[in-house]
Amino acid sequence: MATTQTPPVKTAKTPPVGTARPLRKAVAGGPAIVRFYRSAVGKKWVMAITGIILMSFVAVHLLGNIKLFLSKQEMNLYAEALRTMPGHLLPRTWLLWTIRAGLIAAFVFHIHAAYGLTLINRKARPQRYQSKRDYVAADFASRTMRWTGIIILLFLIFHLMDLTWGNANPQWLRGDAYNNLVYSLQRPVVAIAYAVAMIALGIHLYHGSWSLFQSMGINNPRINGLRRPFAIGFAAVIMVGNLLFPIAVQTHWVTLKCPHTEPVTSPCNRAKGS
């Protein structure tokens, strides 16, 4: 009598003990720099580098705007110098628009890298549960980075419409940076929105300037202790410095000077206007 033999059961191969399975499939192809950017490490580097560029911009922007406290002439000459730099070497505003394009690119990559890292972290930890201990351990700045970033983005759009393009400022006059800013911050709603945005910027800068060292792999016991004081100091200077502008205008420390007079880079003649 013939006996039937059952086929051998195929068992799934299990990885050797101690071997971790990849959280997501690696995407092959493309230039090396693109493959690097697709990784979490690459995105952290992009966030750190673009963060340094944007931090440098807000520092220089604050230094330039401090001329508001000197005079209308100084403020407007500074604004005109930005449009004419570097003198006769290039046509008017070419270098300014080149810098603007670089800042826009840095801003876009900063947002895209942050979004990509969020997706990677969610795939790595699909469970949404967060213990009370974890919530307390993460500081307020790190937990609110997404929301402070959104506030800054919305304010930036309005800020451009208000002071660069002029379509959100009824009193806007091309070239009169001093009075344009005063006109804008004289409106209580705008002054409050400006203050809220600057507080959000300070919180965002604090966590960003503290974490960029870790994102770039800079871990040295000699400088690790300086990271938090640097982050606190930088964020505080930018936030307090920018908050002075709406406070100065609302308290009439800074007032309009000869509004709607030409040329706007000449000394203000009080006989011609207020």
269: left (phi over 0), alpha (psi -120 to 50) or beta: beta
203-223 in b/e form (b: 16+ CB < 10 A) is: bbbbbbbbbbbebbeeeeeee
Answer whether residue 123 shows pLDDT above 90.
no
**Predicted local confidence at residue 155, as pLDDT:** 95
Average pLDDT value for residue range 249-261: 91
Which amino acid, 82?
Answer: L
Average pLDDT value for residue range 239-263: 93
Confidence of residue 136 (pLDDT cuts 50, 70, 90): very low
Confidence of residue 274 (pLDDT cuts 50, 70, 90): very low
Is 274 in a helix, a strand, or coil?
coil
Query: Residue by residue, what is the 3-state secondary structure of 33-71?
Result: HHHHHHCHHHHHHHHHHHHHHHHHHHHHHHHHHHHHHCC
Q: By 3-state DSSP, what share of the chain in percent is helix, strand and coil, each rounded to 5? A: 65, 0, 35
Answer whether residue 187 shows pLDDT above 90.
yes
Answer whether residue 88 shows pLDDT above 50.
yes
Tokens 């420390």 sit at which residue?
A: 253
**Predicted local confidence at residue 8, as pLDDT:** 57
